[in-house]
Structure 1
Amino acid sequence: MGLISRVATWPASKLAVADAMYERREPGRLSRCRRRCVAVAAYLLLTAAFAGCASLDRNAHADALAAPVGLHRQQIDTGNFVLTTFSRITRPDEPIDLYIEGDGLAWISRSEPSLDPTPRDATGLALAAADPAPNVAYVARPCQFTPMEQNPRCGVPYWTGRRFAPDVVASMNDAVSQFAARAPGQPINLIGYSGGGALAVLVAARRTDVASIRTVAGNLDDEFVNRLHHVSPMPESENPIDFADRVASIAQVHFSGAGDTVVPPEVAQRFVAAAGERCAQARTVADVSHDGDWSAYWPRLLTISPRCSGEPHGQ
């Protein structure tokens, strides 16, 4: 679900009072500080405007997340869509941790869809970058990062009402298969953020090589979430909770933020109730919202291993 950024402003009267207090404490420094701040602000605005015109800002941000940890960009053709991926496969004899991105910039307001769903923050990629495993792969959603001319099927429905449609699930599943071929016979650990959590479940329901599922703020019941926010249903999309019984034997843990008002913890709890608690668990993380800095928590959360009952749980 797309989120709208809001910039907080301070009333001019309060700003004037603050300026006066600051000037009394450190005479002469205020004007220098303000000139410096204005210059920095102007630079950032010009940089942002240029990046926006060149359509490079979100891609540059993704590259900056991936490059320092050896995640290499690649585009793969899945038939339905050309998907942008980042990966680091260094041990073909070990499992692959495979991350699926969230819905990205799907909406620019409650009623107006975006023309480009590429995420601004790429939380799913940030999670992958925080994973120290030798084999890490990340798959962006259809129409994210990849130039639109390479994806003639791309259109607003694929990041709104059809974002979990069967052809989308098939495309993501094909991408997983292509990565699985790079570590033959090794299990896949699926991790999905937000809407990527939905696809992690839907993909797992189609496969036999998935060892675990982790979701982060996962939209695991889109009908419930859409009712909660009084938005239109998505009849052309598959609903993960309808597949809970298909993945009930896969070890899984679903993380929710205590401060998440977009996909509240109740969503994960409903999914665990549908899947059964033998292999599924829901964990609520304090002090984090839906679009919070999940990557800062991720190294610790990775130590909580999905386990079916009778097996020891990570702490």
Structure 2
Amino acid sequence: MPASSYKTLLILAATLLAACTSLTDQAKGFAREHGMRSDAIAGEPFTHQTFYKTGKAVDRLHIYIEGDGRPWLRGHLIADDPTPKTPLALELMARSPYTSLYLGRPCYFGYAKQPPCEPRYWTSARYSEAVVNSLAVAIQQIREPNQKLLLIGYSGGGTLATLLAQRLTGDIKVVTIAANLDTLEWSELHGYWPLSESLNPMVQATPPQLVHTHLAGGHDSVVPLAIIRRFSKQHGGTLREFEDYDHVCCWRENWPDILNNVL
């Protein structure tokens, strides 16, 4: 390889590494600016980044779960680090007045190289049994005895919140935002590789006692409203449609009011 090409590759690799590191640092900086405490907690088998915010007391702990972030680069290259550029669930929590916990997904926020992390856990196995189980173990470590929970999941985080509700005991409520609730239909719709190692909420049993609300945007082209409608028709729960919203707009801007209306 010519020296110039080798040098270019080194520069590119260094740039990509710095970008991944800075995304984690940016999220931690954002958390600090909003008075959150940063910590890490062991699930099984993964380590999870957490951010904790003290606010108004409520009858249940609010737990936020992030979307898929950046599993792919340019649509076909697996990312070295799936940490999102814009962690919308973290931004939603910052706008909430209530005591809340942000529970990071396995291999995100700087843990992508820590065993047993490997790329399948943010691609084909992003909603796998191993991922769901590790999140559940982490929650049980955080949770006080018999504490009520509200799981709030954005996009793929809503997928995980729905799957988690099947594994956690006690008084659990779920709110999903623009969530991928039928992974097979979603993959086929976009022409993506199937999430072959992941669980699909559409074909999982929903606990009959579960109180679940699903928020959907009328202009969402990432997770179309029709997918969430079909899930709600089959599994029940409350469907709330926001005609002018898409996958990103305007959840952040209106979150305090939306949250109060679903509590």
Q: Structures share a fold, TM > 0.5? A: yes
What is the aligned counterpart of 2:111 among 130, 141, 147?
147
Instruction: Give the CA deviation at 1:300.
Output: 1.3
Given that 2:68 and 2:82 are in contact with CA atoms closer than 8 Å, whether structure 1 keeps it comes out as yes
Task: Please give the alpha-carbon distance, in whole angstroms, between the structure 2 residues aligned to 1:124 and 1:59.
Answer: 14
Q: Which amino acid aligns with 2:249?
A: G
Residue 240 (structure 2) aligns with: 283
Matched, 1:80 2:45: yes
Q: Which amino acid aligns with 1:170?
A: N
Matched, 1:206 2:172: no
What is the aligned counterpart of 2:260 among 303, 308, 313?
303
Matched, 1:246 2:211: no
Residue 17 (structure 1) aligns with: none
Task: Please give the alpha-carbon distance, in whole angstroms, between the structure 2 residues aligned to 1:91 and 1:303.
Answer: 12
Q: Which amino acid aligns with 1:187?
A: K
Instruction: Describe the superposition over 1:222-266 as per-residue Cα deviations: whole angstroms up to 9, x where unpaired.
Output: 0110111122222311101122x4234211211112221010111
Instruction: Give the CA deviation at 1:129.
Output: 1.2
Task: Please give the alpha-carbon distance, in whole angstroms, between the structure 1 residues aligned to 2:195 and 2:123.
Answer: 8
- Give the superposed CA RMSD: 2.2
**Greater alpha carbon shift after TM alignment, 158-167 vs 170-179:** 170-179
Q: Which amino acid aligns with 2:134?
A: S
Residue 189 (structure 1) aligns with: 150
Instruction: Describe the superposition over 1:254-308 as per-residue Cα deviations: whole angstroms up to 9, x where unpaired.
Output: 11122210101112111111112xxx111122333213352212111112226xx
Matches within 5 A, 1:96-245: 96-133=61-98, 135-149=99-113, 151-181=114-144, 184-243=145-204, 245=205
**Greater alpha carbon shift after TM alignment, 65-74 vs 188-197:** 65-74
Residue 222 (structure 2) aligns with: 262
- Sort the Cα spacing of 1:210 and 1:203 in 2 relative to 1 into closer, same or farther, 3 A: farther
Structure 1 ranges of 4+ moved more than 4 A: 49-52, 89-93
Task: Please give the alpha-carbon distance, in whole angstroms, between the structure 2 residues aligned to 1:56 and 1:236.
Answer: 28
Q: Which amino acid aligns with 2:119?
A: V
Instruction: Describe the superposition over 1:187-243 as per-residue Cα deviations: whole angstroms up to 9, x where unpaired.
Output: 000000111101001100011224311001101110110111122222311101122
Task: Please give the alpha-carbon distance, in whole angstroms, between the structure 1 residues aligned to 2:229 and 2:241.
Answer: 10
- 1:213 aligned counterpart, secondary structure: strand
Give structure 2 stretches of 5+ with no counterpart: 1-13
- 1:268 aligned counterpart, secondary structure: helix
Given that 2:24 and 2:110 are in contact with CA atoms closer than 8 Å, whether structure 1 keeps it comes out as no
Instruction: Give the CA deviation at 1:186.
Output: 1.9
Given that 1:137 and 1:179 are in contact with CA atoms closer than 8 Å, whether structure 2 keeps it comes out as no
Task: Please give the alpha-carbon distance, in whole angstroms, between the structure 1 residues aligned to 2:251 and 2:138.
Answer: 24
Task: Please give the alpha-carbon distance, in whole angstroms, between the structure 1 residues aligned to 2:58 and 2:249.
Answer: 34
TM-score by length of 2: 0.87
Given that 1:259 and 1:290 are in contact with CA atoms closer than 8 Å, whether structure 2 keeps it comes out as yes
